[in-house]
Amino acid sequence: MKALREIIDRISFFILKRKARMLKRDKSFHNFDSASTAGIVFSATTQDTYIMAKEFIKFLEKKKIKVSALGYVSNKDVIAYFPYHKGVEFFSISNLNWYQRPVSSTIDEFMNKPLDILIDLSDENYFPVHYIIALSKAKFKITKNDIINTYSDLILNIDDNVDLVYYLDQIKHYMAAIRKSD
């Protein structure tokens, strides 16, 4: 079974790399002052992760940024435990095809939005999350994950064992420190 999983993983990344090479997107830098739209992708492994993502969404909304968010849960039954928040959608393993590609109109719409900023808040290496980030048409992508750094515009070099609070603080710090030239 492990050998089959490795084969599927290789096929998945092969297909992703091929699709990413064909992706056409307008790249441009945005900080929290210049952005009008933002997308967040996160793995909702715990309610705490969801709460932190929701707080970050509120932070962005206070800056007058319209936010869309996608949360990945490994089991669709878990979605019922997350309270509704405007602009946050969830997807689960039931929304994946055989090679873990997310398949739903909600995900397709999210990936095709010309977001000013896309932020990866996932705390683990989930291929469906990588797929969405890699193929998003967002203008500026922020990640901390080495696996998808070829698809990112700003990579924060943060240890995997560092919690989400620290990562969010680093995003806020760097996005405030970096100024967009006119």
Q: Print the domain residue range for 12.
A: 2-177
Please, which residues have CB within 8 angstroms of residue 91's CB and are 6 or more apart in sequence? Answer: 70, 71, 72, 73, 102, 104, 106, 107, 128
Mean pLDDT of 86-100: 89
**Between 110 and 22, whose confidence is greater?**
110
- The residue-averaged pLDDT of 105-113 equals 95
The C-alpha atoms of residue 87 and residue 39 are separated, in whole angstroms, by 10
Q: How many domains does the structure of the chain reveal?
A: 1
Query: What confidence score (pLDDT) does residue 69 get?
Result: 95
Give the pLDDT confidence score for residue 180 in this predicted structure.
65
The reply to whether 142 falls in a domain is yes
Per the model's pLDDT, the better-predicted residue between 177 and 125 turns out to be 177
Please report whether residue 182 resides in a domain: no
Is 148 domain-assigned?
Answer: yes
* Within-domain flag for 173: yes
pLDDT of residue 144: 86
Task: Note whether residue 75 is domain-resident.
Answer: yes
Domain of 109, CATH number, reads 3.40.50
User: Residue 61: which H helix or E strand, with range?
Assistant: helix 47-62
Report the pLDDT value the prediction gives residue 145, as an integer from 0 to 100: 66
Give pLDDT, residue 135: 92
